[in-house]
Amino acid sequence: MNASRPGRLTFRLAQSGDFDAVVKLSEGIYDGIDYLPSQFHKWLQRDNLAVLLAYSGDKLVGLQACFVVDEGRTFIRRAERILAELRGQGLVRQQREYARKYVREHYPSVQRERFTTPSDFASSLDLTKLLENDILSYHVQKEFYDLAEISKTNSAEIKICSREYFADVILSSPLRAQLFPDNVIVVNWCPFEPTRSNIDHMLQESHEIFVEKCPDHVSPKSLSFSTFYPGVKFLVWITTLYTRLRSRPL
């Protein structure tokens, strides 16, 4: 088969020994912040996540991961990639078709498919994007440390959110509806329903959950998920912030 004009692809599940080939397949993706090499072996250990490899003859040409959540009702398509010189030849469509076939056979309760692409996901919810894929940094010289005056008028103290607090308080009604009005929590670009059954999946995607520190009788106004991973060239820190809408405009 001519690899420059591949025909029908064949597929199999990834194994730990495929790591070097997967890294080579992923070269140049996301300008050095690709997460797959650092997550590959971890993903192979998950019961609800399948990494599918696509071959043209004996040549690895593509990869597609299927992540099943929401009590088996949703599969999230993630880490999709095709060998650079073969893009634009319909191979992505073949990968997606096979991924759906695999999910139907192994997870018969799945009812819908979602994506991890931030721009596609945001537009599907008709959200207004404030900031995406940007870097914000400051350098403060040491002599100014003691001179800085921080206004506490609108400040809030935060704390690490425990699993129990997340389950019993954050996911309780009506706070859940106020923080997640679209009934979706996005953690590390993966969309989840805000249910207790997804807590373990969300914790696998996030290193820390932070919440406003407030008295027991007061509901927090905000929550954030933070994910750290070593990309191919750079260390990456992703934070997703949710906050209740104010009753008055800012």
pLDDT above 60: residue 247? no
106: alpha, beta or left? (left if phi > 0; alpha if psi -120 to 50): alpha
Q: What pTM was computed for the model? A: 0.79
The answer to whether the CB of 68 falls within 8 A of the CB of 105 is no
Instruction: Indicate whether 4 belongs to any domain.
Output: no
| 76, 152: one domain | no
Instruction: Indicate whether 161 belongs to any domain.
Output: yes
Q: Which residue among 115, 130, 163 closes a domain?
A: 115
Name the DSSP letter for residue 134: -
Number of domains present in the structure of the chain: 2
pLDDT digits (tens, 9 = 90+) for 190-241: 999 999 999 999 999 998 999 999 898 899 999 999 999 898 988 888 888 8
Instruction: Indicate whether 40 belongs to any domain.
Output: yes
In which domain, by residue range, is 221 found?
A: 118-243
Average pLDDT, the chain: 84
- Name residue, tokens 């329903």: 193
Average pLDDT score over residue span 37-48: 95
pLDDT digits (tens, 9 = 90+) for 75-128: 999 999 999 888 888 899 999 999 999 999 999 999 999 987 554 433 444 434
Q: Which residue among 89, 115, 141 closes a domain?
A: 115
What span, in angstroms and rounded, lies between the C-alpha atoms of 95 and 123?
24
| 108, 33: one domain | yes
The answer to whether the CB of 110 falls within 8 A of the CB of 68 is yes
What span, in angstroms and rounded, lies between the C-alpha atoms of 7 and 14?
21
Angle value at C-alpha 115, between 168 and 94, nearest 5 degrees: 145
The mean-pLDDT minimum among 35-39, 52-56, 147-151 falls in 147-151
| 90, 147: one domain | no
| 218, 234: one domain | yes
Q: Which residue among 115, 150, 183 closes a domain?
A: 115
Closest CA to 12 of 50, 52, 48: 52
| 141, 97: one domain | no
The answer to whether the CB of 49 falls within 8 A of the CB of 67 is yes
